[in-house]
Structure 1
């Protein structure tokens, strides 16, 4: 359904470290740094994630109530996503485990260095 998502970031290098590690744990390639270090681009599954310094020059902030969902192939991939994100500047927003909201699913939540919330989840079988 979506062609791309765009997130703001204040520190592109810290953000690259986080996303390369967390998305790498889910099987994605490292991001491409574009426009003299002002943007990061991740591609996969027919879509793009673009992370950029805000065009208006103001600080980037996280969306209140917003979450970016990422598909994981297994519980182990969810665990690896969470561990890699924490080890690379992310903060815990929900440890890996089963989720009651969707019976049979398994997920973990992180915040990136800017505060954007992500979840990696394995759908019910």
Structure 2
């Protein structure tokens, strides 16, 4: 359904270090770095036909997070959800909501973790149970 998700940052190097660490947990490595036509630095992490992008804001204003938004990354096991969360926290993320673990509600059973990245974006790791 989605081709890409792009978020803003005011510190591309800190974001790269953070996302290199957490995305490696789920098998995403080696982002492509470039500058757009107006000079902003960008990172592109491609995996299974989708792209997660980080950019310095084009309008020159400070980056901000979208209140009410969540960016979810697929994990391959409950253990990977736990590791995804642990690596994020170890690299400066802030844990939010309930601790990582099993949730069982109207959308089914799944293991989830939630945290805020270095710029305040809400990130989720999810493993859906069969």
Offset, 1:124: 2.0
Q: CA separation in 1, counterparts of 2:20 and 2:81?
A: 15
Q: Return the structure number with greater relative CO, CA threshold 8 A, min gap 6.
A: 1
Deviations 1:42-77 (A, max 9, x none): 000101111001000000101000000111000111
Q: Which residue of 1 aligns with 2:110?
A: 105
Q: Which residue of 1 aligns with 2:100?
A: 96
TM-score by length of 2: 0.89
Q: Which segments of 5 or more consecutive residues in structure 1 lack a partner in the other structure? A: none
TM-score by length of 1: 0.92
- Structure 1: which 4+ aligned runs deviate by more than 3 Å? 100-103
Q: Which segments of 5 or more consecutive residues in structure 2 lack a partner in the other structure? A: none
Q: Mark the CA change 1:15 to 1:108 in structure 2 (over 3 Å): closer, same or farther.
A: same
Q: CA separation in 2, counterparts of 1:37 and 1:73?
A: 34
The structure whose Rg is larger is 2
Q: CA separation in 2, counterparts of 1:80 and 1:37?
A: 32
Higher deviation after alignment, 70-79 or 35-44: 35-44
